[in-house]
Amino acid sequence: MILSMTGYGKGVASYGSRKITAEIKSLNSKQLDLSSRLPSIYREKELELRNMVAAALTRGKVDMLVYTESDGEASVAELNMSALKAYKRSLEQMSTQLGIDLPADWYATLLRLPDVFATETSSDISAEELQALADAVKTSIDALVEFRTQEGARLAAFFEEKIANIRRLLADVEPCEAERVPKIKARIEEALASLEGIDYDKGRFEQEMIFYIEKLDVSEEKLRLANHLDYFLETLHSDSSGQGKKLGFIAQEMGREINTLGSKSNHAEMQRIVVRMKDELEQIKEQVLNVL
């Protein structure tokens, strides 16, 4: 069964007072185009997480977002006391050397300076928390794959409907063929009759007519188009992965046969049938772009 490239997945894992959330969304793309945003404390795991996502999703424009939330006292930022002490000493020395007043509000002054809040580093992260991070990302990947599967089933039903429509239109071509040859022959004979004083060899006329009709024969195009329709459905329901590009190639071949039918039709109703075939095929081509 085919998979869609469009999807969304979310995974949540907890470690201690910290809740880790991973969200992944994907759209169609010719190749894998992966972007990621993680908290700075998890940067050392970014490459490993990207490889995990790439192995599971294969293709598409993929965005991965990881963020954390803390509850209770853990959400309160801690002050970097060593930095605050160093800033205070420097300001006092500046006041003495430059002869300027000390700040009237030490708190407001010091808390605006860089790095006065202690930040967690990757070395502070335990193996258990990193495993929780990996679990959250894995859960979001699984959810996205499930989304892709459901969307793929919807696309498969859509393709089956469109292929059936083209097949019915192809069957409608046959009655047009039955009346096409006599109409073409009558039209040419009328044109010749309208030319006064022109005589022509009836036998030669029949030979040329046969040659002309053979050039307009669409039996091969109809057969090839029918084979392409069967091959499209066979590929659609195959167990192999990554059918999107293959389905796109088959749709292109279907388009060539339909275009040839139109160029050879020389019949108003048959041309209308071809236009309807093209409309169905364009809808297929548009949605094939979403298939993995």
Asked if 173 and 261 touch (Cβ cutoff 8 Å), the reply is yes
**How far, in whole angstroms, is CA 178 from its chain's centroid?**
44
Position 190 scores a pLDDT of: 67
Position 196 scores a pLDDT of: 65
Say whether pLDDT at 148 is over 90. Answer: yes
- Strand 32-37 to strand 18-27: parallel, antiparallel, or no bridges (unpaired)? unpaired
Closest to 4 (Cα-Cα) out of 26, 37, 32: 26
Say whether pLDDT at 111 is over 90. Answer: no
Say whether pLDDT at 123 is over 60. Answer: no
Alpha-carbon distance of 25 to 47, in angstroms, equals 18
- Reported confidence tier of residue 71, pLDDT bands at 50, 70, 90: low
**Average pLDDT estimate for 80-86:** 85
What is the 3 state secondary structure string of the chain? CCCECCEEEEEEEEECCEEEEEEEEEECCCCEEEEEECCHHHHHHHHHHHHHHHHHHCCEEEEEEEEEEECHHHHCCCECHHHHHHHHHHHHHHHHHHCCCCCCCHHHHHHCCCCCECCCCHHHCCHHHHHHHHHHHHHHHHHHHHHHHHHHHHHHHHHHHHHHHHHHHHHHHHHHHHHHHHHHHHHHHHHHHCCCCCCCCHHHHHHHHHHHHHHCCCHHHHHHHHHHHHHHHHHHCCCCCCCHHHHHHHHHHHHHHHHHHHHHHCCHHHHHHHHHHHHHHHHHHHHHCCEC
Angle at CA of residue 31, ends 234 and 29, nearest 5°: 80
Percent of the chain with pLDDT over 90: 46
Say whether pLDDT at 78 is over 90. Answer: no
Position 54 scores a pLDDT of: 93
Position 254 scores a pLDDT of: 96
Closest to 228 (Cα-Cα) out of 152, 267, 287, 170: 170
Say whether pLDDT at 145 is over 90. Answer: yes
**Domains of the chain in sequence order:** 7-73+126-149 (3.30.230), 81-111 (no CATH), 150-288 (no CATH)
User: What's the pLDDT tens digit per position in 2-59?
Assistant: 999 999 999 999 888 788 999 999 999 989 999 999 987 888 889 999 999 999 998 9
